[in-house]
Amino acid sequence: MRKIRIKDEYLHYADRVAEWSGLTRTALMERTKKRPIVRARQVLFWVIKRSTTASYSEMGRAFKMNHSSILASIAKAEERRDNDIEFRQATDELLQRFFESNLKHGSGSPVYVYIAGPITNGDQFLNCSRAFKEGSKVMAAGHWPFVPHMSYAMHMVSPQGYEDWMKWDFAWLSRCAALIRLPGKSPGSDREVAYANSLGLPVYHSAEEFLAAHPPVS
């Protein structure tokens, strides 16, 4: 039977997911429509996407697959997580093991992190300044921060509804691997923390706390 080829950089992901699924790596990479194997492979792609900075195209090239197939597999995993609490908990634990392993062995991979905090509640300039400074600390350490406070300037040019901005925020948050919640009253940030929790993302409260868990990338 034909096998899906895999680059060396992802072999340990395949091995861990195969073990977690009760399969061998060889079985995991079979080109088959058998449900247990297809579902395990969906988890593999989901884990790689959540714990690395690889794009869908990069993953497609790594596995010699169309990037749209990678995207569809990850969407299926997310859908199952939404509808199966036990599966969500199990995949959250699996993802956490990958995070811990990457830290232990010094993977050197940058982390996409979402910076949440007040924008319109209080002094808006100071709120944005604080968020930009925290984001700069993360960026200086080699990681990739997303600071939604940038939307404040965009809103002045092209105003959007509050819920429209929240949808935009959630779309970006779903692509991050961690969240930093800055201090201050903010119902929107509280919703972002709740969404991060639902995704199984770790939540930190400062750039320093985040960097203690995710050391600078060399």
Mean pLDDT of 148-161: 87
Section 187-213 average pLDDT: 90
Please give the full DSSP string across the chain, using - where no structure is assigned.
--B----GGGHHHHHHHHHHHT--HHHHTB----HHHHHHHHHHHHHHHHHS---HHHHHHHHTS-HHHHHHHHHHHHHHHHH-HHHHHHHHHHHHHHHHHHHHHT-----EEEEE--SSSS-HHHHHHHHHHHHHHHHHTT-EEE-GGGHHHHHHHS---HHHHHHHHHHHHTT-SEEEE-SS--HHHHHHHHHHHHHT--EESSHHHHHHHSPPP-
pLDDT computed for residue 179 by the predictor: 94
163-184 confidence digits (pLDDT tens): 998 999 999 998 888 899 999 9
Fold equal for 8-105 and 112-213? no
Per-residue pLDDT at 187 = 95
Judge: domain 112-213, CATH 3.40.50.720: no
Can you give the pLDDT at residue 1?
46
- What are the sequence ranges of the domains in the chain? 8-105, 112-213
pLDDT at 6 over 60: no
- Where residue 215 falls among pLDDT bands split at 50, 70, 90? confident
Residues 41-56 have pLDDT tens digits of 999 998 888 877 778 8
User: Thinking of the domain 8-105, which architecture would CATH place it in?
Assistant: Orthogonal Bundle (1.10)
